[in-house]
Amino acid sequence: MVPFRLVPRIALHSSFAEFIKEFQLNGEDLIVTNEFIQTGVKPADLAARVVFQERFGTGEPSNVMMDSIFQEARRQPYKRVIAVGGGTVIDVAKLLALGGNGSTVDYFEGRIPVEKARELIIIPTTCGTGSEVTNIAIMEIKEQKTKKGLATDAIFADYAVLIPELLASLPYQVFATSSIDALIHATESFVAPGSNPLTELYAIQAIAMILQGYKTIAAEGKDSRRELMGDFLLASTYAGIAFGNTGVGAVHALSYPLGGVYHVPHGEANQQMFTTIFRAYKEIKAQGKIEALEEILAHNLGVSVNEVWPAFDSLLEAILPRKPLKAYGMKEEDIVLFTDSVIKNQQRLLKNNYVSLSREQMIAIYTELY
């Protein structure tokens, strides 16, 4: 069994002001955040330098965006990087904590050493990435029209800091896509070959917290989520601890070309693939961890095991309805192109599948969803 690891220290704070005082922010700090977040995180007298991610590009991180941010950040020295934001901000900050002067693609393709040079503090402002506790960063490489992952201990945070108040104004669509991503992290981790009793503990708790929250939202309306943000934030971190040890699989792998080519938000792209891939798993190997997952889902949904997948789909549709892939602009010829891209570029993820998927099975999944 691969040893279970929880590397970052985890701190919980009631406010950003409390965090500033506890961590003694100063002029040698570099904060990476978004302009729409800054009013909650930047007092007028804060000495730390601030880089706003969206001034260098919109959407999820790409090598073009990251290289531009690197150029700006390197204008002045800094000793500590503080990420305050969602997945894009966190991935940017992880790379800014590294040493070296190459391009960001150089890190992902192994052309320069990946070595940590600065302390890294991560404060998530969504409830899905889990990246605050993982050693993984994701980046779209524009020239290759796909996303790639960098997994190395050099990008572990030194501290993961959870501040629920920073999620208070999270728009519903961002909440939905990010929290479903956390649910997928937990379920993919649970059935992964590398799962163990410790990762399962965190995955099961994340699944339970997210599904209970979803049931409340489905019954009481979207605004009811605001009272649950602390639970969703913690569930996201639990899911991050689980998949940070086991990896994620085909749901993420098959979603990457959709996100890379048609710029579909990460959690939304994953949602399109989610239950279709798990149903395929069940068809291929009905006996195994998929049975245990069905029992967990049935318990939390309040249904029998035989009713799990229709009930699960129904609840997810109430939170974030799925669309056919062609609604995002995907073309029929992309089905084979995406499949071959996944096989070529995502072996890091595919090895974490519950069962192996053949090229023909991946084509069938894309075709069904198209």
- Cα–Cα dist 196/186, whole Å: 13
pLDDT grade, residue 39 (50/70/90)? Answer: low
Q: What is the pLDDT of residue 209?
A: 99
pLDDT above 60: residue 202? yes
Question: What average pLDDT does this structure show over 137-150?
Answer: 88
Q: What is the pLDDT of residue 80?
A: 98
Helix (H, G, I), strand (E, B) or coil at 160: strand
pLDDT above 90: residue 46? no
Phi, psi of 136 (to 5 degrees): -125, 140
Q: What is the pLDDT of residue 351?
A: 98
Question: What average pLDDT does this structure show over 145-169?
Answer: 93
Q: pTM of the full predicted structure?
A: 0.94
- Say which residue, 41 or 327, is predicted with more confidence: 327
Mean pLDDT for all residues in the chain: 95
pLDDT above 70: residue 265? yes
Q: What is the pLDDT of residue 40?
A: 59
Q: What is the pLDDT of residue 201?
A: 98
The kind and range of the H/E element at 199 are helix 197-220
Question: What average pLDDT does this structure show over 258-268?
Answer: 93
pLDDT above 80: residue 207? yes
Burial environment of residue 19 by CB neighbours within 10 A (0 to 12, 13 to 18, 19 or more):
buried
Question: What average pLDDT does this structure show over 315-337?
Answer: 98
Q: What is the pLDDT of residue 38?
A: 64
Q: What is the pLDDT of residue 41?
A: 63
pLDDT above 60: residue 148? yes
Residue in 161, 215, 150, 205 with CA at minimum distance from that of residue 183: 205
Q: What is the pLDDT of residue 1?
A: 64
- Cα-trace Rg, the chain: 20
Range(s) for CATH 1.20.1090.10 in the chain?
172-369
Question: What average pLDDT does this structure show over 215-234?
Answer: 98
Sign of torsion over alpha carbons 24, 30, 33, 36: positive
Q: 9-167 in CATH: which number? A: 3.40.50.1970
Question: What average pLDDT does this structure show over 314-318?
Answer: 98
pLDDT above 70: residue 309? yes
Which parts of 82-171 fold into alpha helices (H)? 87-96, 104-108
Question: What average pLDDT does this structure show over 117-128?
Answer: 97
CB contact at 8 A, 256 and 273: no
pLDDT grade, residue 144 (50/70/90)? Answer: confident
Range(s) for CATH 3.40.50.1970 in the chain?
9-167
Burial environment of residue 240 by CB neighbours within 10 A (0 to 12, 13 to 18, 19 or more):
buried
- Cα–Cα dist 353/191, whole Å: 8
Q: What is the pLDDT of residue 59?
A: 84
CB contact at 8 A, 134 and 189: no
Six token digits for residue 256: 């990457």
- Segment 267-307, tens digit of pLDDT: 999 999 999 999 999 999 999 999 999 999 999 999 999 99
Q: Which fold has domain 172-369?
A: Dehydroquinate synthase-like, alpha domain (1.20.1090)
